[in-house]
Amino acid sequence: MTQDRPQVRYVSAGAGDDGQRIDNFLLKQLPGVPKSHIYQLLRSGQVRINGGRAKAERKLVKGDEVRIPPVRAADKAQTARPPDAVLNALRAAIVHEDEHYLAISKPAGLAAHAGSGVPYGVIESVRAWNKYEFIELAHRLDRDTSGVLLLAKTRPALLRAQRALKHGEADKRYFALLVGKWRGEDRDVDAALVRNRLQSGERRVQIDEDDGKPSKSRFSPKARYRDATLCEVQIFSGRTHQIRVHALALGHPVAGDTKYGERSDNKPLRDLGLKRMFLHSHFLQLPAQGDFGKLLLNAPLPDELRDVLDRLPRPR
């Protein structure tokens, strides 16, 4: 008896796919297939749009016929349905919903999306509700960061949010507990960042003014403690690990950050009950644009972080 083999598929782009890049369309059509393989399929010409080859940045138009070559599905462990407990927890974490957007106060420890060694994230969980014809992440949050995560329910809403975030038109703010005593008031960090892979295979972000991408953060102290400072951080760009690396550059790493912080700094905080990185996206605002009104989102600090603040020693 032979196993069923994957077959060539022809999929028509619907209204919700209009304007979407073909690489992102394929990532949805082929869940669990690595990005590297998606791009290999495109480079080799195995993916066709209306019979012709297509580059990764090609945008679909409603009615386009996409040829998807045979690709063996990922194993069940990679595409597992999120547990009901996760689905229910995210329903309870909704902070806003309208005809265009869904906003969730993402818990720390849950990824925004599935990836290597991560079978599901927020987007896979929301899709498992089977409630929306179209739902996409408008941006990302690190797995260990909590707070406002915006999802779009239509492609125009997605593009509007992405444009605002990309061009610095959005107001995005975090609460971060920083190690050490803060001197003075607001401080800006304007330092280009680049992602590197170390010899160990670990990925780290570093400041590199020659090869990095521009990034700017503003740190504003909100509460001062004996050995730490609670800051509100406004970011004017959205680079990977931006706040964490900029905080380190100021000499005040984010509390609980095991990648960029020092173990000796984090141990006293763990003794006070900090079991995660103290970084929370608490505010996101998108300006009015075209048919879209201003969008204002808030997510209060979770109890686990408030409890840590209550235990922190005050300045002598």
**Do 247 and 193 touch, CB atoms closer than 8 A?**
no
Q: What domains appear along the chain, each with residue ranges and CATH number?
A: 9-68 (3.10.290.10), 84-161 (3.30.2350.10), 169-311 (3.30.2350.10)
How many angstroms separate the CA atoms of 295 and 170, rounded? 10
Query: Taking the CB of residue 232, how many other CB atoms lie within 10 A of it?
Result: 17
Q: Is 211 a catalytic residue?
A: no
Q: How confident is the model at residue 1 (pLDDT cuts 50, 70, 90)?
A: very low
Q: What mean pLDDT value characterizes the chain?
A: 90
Q: Are strands 146-152 and 279-286 parallel, antiparallel or unpaired?
A: parallel
Which of the pair, 35 or 61, is modelled with greater confidence?
Answer: 61
pLDDT of residue 5: 62
pLDDT of residue 139: 94
Confidence of residue 77 (pLDDT cuts 50, 70, 90): very low
| pLDDT value, residue 76 | 40
Structure tokens at 245: 């690396």
* Count of CA atoms in the C-beta half-sphere (13 A) of 228: 24
Active-site residue identified among 142, 208, 211, 291: 142
Mean pLDDT, range 48-61, rounded to an integer: 92
Q: Bigger pLDDT: 134 or 202?
A: 134
Q: In the structure, what pLDDT confidence band is assigned to residue 199 with cuts at 50, 70 and 90?
A: low
**Separation in Å, CA 28 to CA 22, 101, 120, 206, 227:** 10, 19, 13, 31, 46
Whether the pLDDT of residue 93 is over 90: the answer is yes
Least confident range from 76-85, 138-147, 192-201: namely 76-85
Mean pLDDT value of segment 69-90: 75
Coil vs helix vs strand at 152 = strand
The answer to whether the beta carbons of residues 182 and 193 sit under 8 Å apart is no
Q: Is the pLDDT of residue 263 over 90?
A: no
**Interval 205-247: pLDDT, tens:** 999 998 899 999 999 999 999 999 999 999 998 898 999 999 9
pLDDT of amino acid 200 = 63
Query: What's the CA angle centered on 106, arms 100 and 110, to 5 degrees?
Result: 125
- Is 171 exposed, middle or buried (CB count within 10 Å of its CB: 0-12, 13-18, 19+)? middle
User: pLDDT tens digits, residue range 107-123?
Assistant: 999 999 887 778 889 99
Q: Residue 238 has what pLDDT?
A: 87
pLDDT at site 109: 94
Helices (H), the chain: 22-29, 35-43, 84-92, 122-127, 155-166, 242-249, 263-271, 303-311
3-class secondary structure, 70: coil
Nearest-10 crossing angle of helices 35-43, 22-29: 120
Range in 11-20, 83-92, 128-137 with the lowest mean pLDDT: 11-20
pLDDT for 72 beyond 60: yes
